[in-house]
Amino acid sequence: MVSISLELADNGVIKTIKDDNYNGAGELYEGKRVFEIDVDPTHEKKLEFIYSLCRDLGLDLGNDFSNNVLKFDIGWGNDYNPTVDELEKKVNLMKAEMKLLTSTLKNIKEKDTSKVSSK
């Protein structure tokens, strides 16, 4: 049986995985991993911890080929007042995403048109 335990540490979380039937051979396995999340202003370590825990629990979050993927995102709070620089960065990122999506849509339409005309 596999068991997962979480312990709070001064600077984060310690995740311990114990398996009493490792590789189906009855071997014992114990792995520990420390996630330092208190010194994480970008929240990357927190996301890494959440994704790691989901993998260990066998939760299917989707994959790169799925049209339905569960993502954990970092963003602004509802009542947060961004600075002008933050807003400009976000607008530029969204413009770049729109450009990519528009290009992808154009390519898909061109492929569909070429399939129809070749028949």
* Per-residue pLDDT tens over the stretch 40-64: 788 888 889 999 999 999 898 988 8
Q: How far apart are CA 94 and CA 82, in angstroms?
A: 16
User: Chain-wide mean pLDDT for the chain?
Assistant: 90
Q: How far apart are CA 29 and CA 2, in angstroms?
A: 9
Q: Would you state the structure tokens that stand for residue 75, as one six-digit string?
A: 């963003």
Confidence of residue 102 (pLDDT cuts 50, 70, 90): very high
Tell me the sheet residues that pair with 13: 8, 35
Confidence of residue 118 (pLDDT cuts 50, 70, 90): low
Question: Do 68 and 62 touch, CB atoms closer than 8 A?
Answer: yes
pTM score: 0.65
Count the residues in the chain. 119
The pLDDT, as a whole number, for residue 95 is: 98
Question: Do 32 and 85 touch, CB atoms closer than 8 A?
Answer: no
